[in-house]
A and B are shown apart, each in its own frame.
Chain A
Amino acid sequence: MRLVEHEGKELLRAAGIPVPVSELIRPGEDVSLPYPFLLKSQVPASNRLRKGGISKVADAADFARARESLFATPVDGYLPERLLAEAFIDAAQELYVSFSYEGASRGPVLALSAKGGTGVGAAMVISVSILRGLTREAASAALAQTGITHDLSDVLVRLWNLFVEQKLALLEVNPLFVLPDGSVVAGDAKVVTDPAVTKDGERPFLALGGDIAVIASGGGASMLTIDLLMRAGGKPANYVEYSGNPPATVVEELTVRVLSTPGLRGAWIVGGTANFTDTYETMSGFLAGLRRIVPKPTYPIVVRRDGPRLEEARTLLEQVAKEEDFNITVFGPEASMAESAETLLERMNAYVDTR
């Protein structure tokens, strides 16, 4: 999860990294900071300045206008609950600093640039040993290589310690202001927590705007199936997936959520060959969800599945379709994923909603 700026700055402050004097306000609240100051939308979005999420405020009239405008302006779809009013910093230099994990080196990296702010210059990326940590010496060497003449090794080590102690996925300070006296102030904080640590990872659910509900099994297969459906000319209503071997109730709730999308004309319940997913269990969950949809779906539904207990799952689906009058076609591995998508599109073309 991405924290908003003021939450990230709380972490920085606690770690001994100076942040600007600031006040957090709700709609209608006033600020006691002296003018000029910055008013910043507290939304989890990057490039807020460019997207109209940050205003420089010179006087009271300016403040009233900016406050109203910022609370009404969504940035990347997020409307702020609060604004951060923050003292304006007159910096000698703006740096870019971040710690994150990188696939290429399969470990943590320090990214550093002497030109931070908006339009960051090419950052130097330096691997850090997670077992040994960032030494002051390595930090000094990285600063020298980047052409940063101030001795900020202590700041880098503090940021590294925060990154490791909080088990963060990303800690980015951009800009890191360097003042004329060589001290630093963090101008912004982008902090992304690791969902495996905070356990707040959510199943991705994306609206894609089409008329075909897609319930896909498997993280990789789900992405492939959307590609295949779009290539066949279908318009997916959503992207969602369930992985592993979930109980029926998980698939039931997912089914209710997906099939509650307005304007559906078809549904594709699709997966590859499961290694250990109990297909009878998951398809029972799908049927339980399907029965809860009002009005009862009459549009074509194509199921394509394979894996443990496939034949029991197939028998169940066909029996329920017949007895409860659902328009369900069931395929096992005899039809490819792409063929089952084409079958769905054919059935949708032939389908007339008689209600």
Chain B
Amino acid sequence: MGKEGTRAAREMAAYGTNVLAGVAPGKGGQQTEEGLPIYESVIDACAAHPEITASLIVVPGQFVGSAVTDALDAGIRLVNILSEQVPLIDVARIIEHAREKGARIVGPSSVGIMSPGKAKIGSIGSGGTAERVFTPGPVGVISKSGGMTAELSRILTTAGIGQSTAVGIGGDPLIGSDFLDIALLFEGDLETKALVIFGEVGGVYEEQLAEAIADCRITKPVIALIAGVFAETLPSETPLGHAGAIIQGNRGSASSKIAALKAAGAQIAQTPEDIPVFLKNVL
């Protein structure tokens, strides 16, 4: 495995995730320093460890399509892609493949998935930050931004409000799971009482969540913070901090997302610090 993959595996295991195997083509039969066995493919790894249910992808962007195809063919149900710079065509292919298999992809460009006190996948809460930032509790966090996943969770933790799970869905134009996909999982989760989302200019994923709130597919309270209002003064098609954060006329602007979510009944936070104040009224 590469440096990033080895580090992620070590950090995940240290947090309590049951990490069973690594995969690195050409290194099958070796072990990591921590004694984690390495296989040539996920198919090989699953043959040796049939209890594997999830796979974290940490390979350079151009190899993600191949790595995810291997994981899906091995029957993996949850694939989390940490890698960035994945070609659009490859993302489209693996999303369609996962859909046919009934598997779930989170990412690309996902910081990971954290269920505080239970397990984590990805690089979320690394470098000794996990215990300080994340605590167990009733709030589901969904964010396009990895940094804001942690910033918002830390603000909640400081306010005495824990998280059921925090999910970085990534800020790419095409992603395996969007706000609504994850919100539907939280809707069915008994531990989760309210949702916090961090969205940003570009695309329609926030608007799709707003529609689901409006037609009562999502009934738990939603508090949203949407970034990139400033971008409305910039020329159309200006690229911003994430690949998906592109202004295209009025479509996908921060203001249109805020208006859609507000009209659907979500509460709109102006700053991260508004969020625990709103949450205390609904929890």
A217: contacting residue among B97, B147, B176, B200, CB under 8 A:
B147
A196: contacting residue among B86, B241, B272, CB under 8 A:
B86
Asked if B38 lies at the interface with its beta carbon under 8 angstroms from chain A, I say: no
A221 with B96: CB separation less than 8 A: no
Inter-chain CA distance A196–B85, complex, in Å, is: 5
Q: Identify the stretch in B48-56, B149-157, B186-194, B259-267 within 8 Å (CB) of chain A at 4 or more residues.
A: B149-157
Return chain B residues, CB-CB under 8 Å to A208. 230
Asked if B126 lies at the interface with its beta carbon under 8 angstroms from chain A, I say: yes
Inter-chain CA distance A101–B100, complex, in Å, is: 19
Segment 164-213 of B: residues with Cβ below 8 Å from A: 171, 173-176, 178, 198, 200-201, 203-205, 208
Inter-chain CA distance A261–B178, complex, in Å, is: 38
A223 with B129: CB separation less than 8 A: no
Inter-chain CA distance A131–B92, complex, in Å, is: 9
Asked if A354 lies at the interface with its beta carbon under 8 angstroms from chain B, I say: no
B147 with A274: CB separation less than 8 A: yes
Asked if B239 lies at the interface with its beta carbon under 8 angstroms from chain A, I say: yes
Question: Which residue, A167, A271, A276, A336, has most C-beta atoms of chain B within 10 A?
Answer: A276
A106 with B126: CB separation less than 8 A: no
One digit per residue, 1 when the CB lies within 8 angstroms of any chain A CB and 0 when it does not, for chain B 120-147 equals 0001111111000100000000011111
Asked if B283 lies at the interface with its beta carbon under 8 angstroms from chain A, I say: no
Inter-chain CA distance A221–B125, complex, in Å, is: 16
Return B105 CB to nearest CB of chain A, in Å. Answer: 10
A219: contacting residue among B61, B95, B171, CB under 8 A:
B171
Segment 145-165 of A: residues with Cβ below 8 Å from B: 164
Q: Identify the stretch in B18-26, B28-36, B73-81, B221-229 within 8 Å (CB) of chain A at 4 or more residues.
A: B221-229
Return chain B residues, CB-CB under 8 Å to A74. none
B272 with A337: CB separation less than 8 A: yes
Return chain B residues, CB-CB under 8 Å to A333. 154, 158
Return chain A residues, CB-CB under 8 Å to B176. 106
B227 with A101: CB separation less than 8 A: no
One digit per residue, 1 when the CB lies within 8 angstroms of any chain B CB and 0 when it does not, for chain A 263-280 equals 000000001111111100
A194: contacting residue among B87, B175, B228, B239, CB under 8 A:
B87
B86 with A273: CB separation less than 8 A: no
Inter-chain CA distance A93–B67, complex, in Å, is: 46
Segment 87-117 of B: residues with Cβ below 8 Å from A: 87-89, 92-93, 95-97, 100, 111-112
A227 with B96: CB separation less than 8 A: no
B147: contacting residue among A103, A206, A272, A336, CB under 8 A:
A272
B227 with A107: CB separation less than 8 A: no
Interface size class of A (residues with CB under 8 A): 35 or more
Inter-chain CA distance A277–B124, complex, in Å, is: 11
Inter-chain CA distance A216–B96, complex, in Å, is: 35
Asked if A117 lies at the interface with its beta carbon under 8 angstroms from chain B, I say: no
Return chain A residues, CB-CB under 8 Å to B231. 223
Return chain B residues, CB-CB under 8 Å to A243. 84, 241
Asked if B234 lies at the interface with its beta carbon under 8 angstroms from chain A, I say: yes
Return chain B residues, CB-CB under 8 Å to A271. 147
Known interface pairs A220-B147, A308-B126. Does A103 touch B234 (Cβ–Cβ under 8 Å)?
Answer: no
B230: contacting residue among A130, A131, A167, A230, CB under 8 A:
A230
A218 with B240: CB separation less than 8 A: no
Return chain B residues, CB-CB under 8 Å to A227. 227-230, 254
Known interface pairs A194-B87, A273-B133. Does A131 touch B96 (Cβ–Cβ under 8 Å)?
Answer: yes
B89 with A223: CB separation less than 8 A: no
Return chain B residues, CB-CB under 8 Å to A196. 61-62, 85-88, 243
Inter-chain CA distance A196–B112, complex, in Å, is: 21
Return B49 CB to nearest CB of chain A, in Å. Answer: 26
B145 with A220: CB separation less than 8 A: yes
B148: contacting residue among A104, A106, A272, CB under 8 A:
A272
Return B163 CB to nearest CB of chain A, in Å. Answer: 13
Return chain B residues, CB-CB under 8 Å to A194. 87-89
**Which residues of A are in contact with B by a Cβ distance under 8 Å?**
76, 101, 103-104, 106-108, 129-131, 164, 167, 169, 194-197, 199, 201, 204, 206, 208, 216-224, 226-228, 230-231, 236, 239, 241, 243-244, 271-278, 306-309, 333, 336-338
Could you write out 25 A-B pairs with CB less than 8 Å apart?
Answer: A103-B244, A104-B208, A106-B176, A107-B92, A130-B89, A201-B243, A206-B238, A217-B147, A219-B171, A219-B241, A220-B146, A220-B148, A220-B241, A221-B145, A223-B227, A223-B228, A224-B148, A224-B227, A227-B230, A228-B271, A272-B145, A273-B133, A275-B127, A276-B126, A308-B128
**Which residues of B are in contact with A by a Cβ distance under 8 Å?**
61-62, 84-89, 92-93, 95-97, 100, 111-112, 123-129, 133, 143-151, 153-155, 158, 171, 173-176, 178, 198, 200-201, 203-205, 208, 225, 227-231, 234-235, 238-245, 254, 270-273
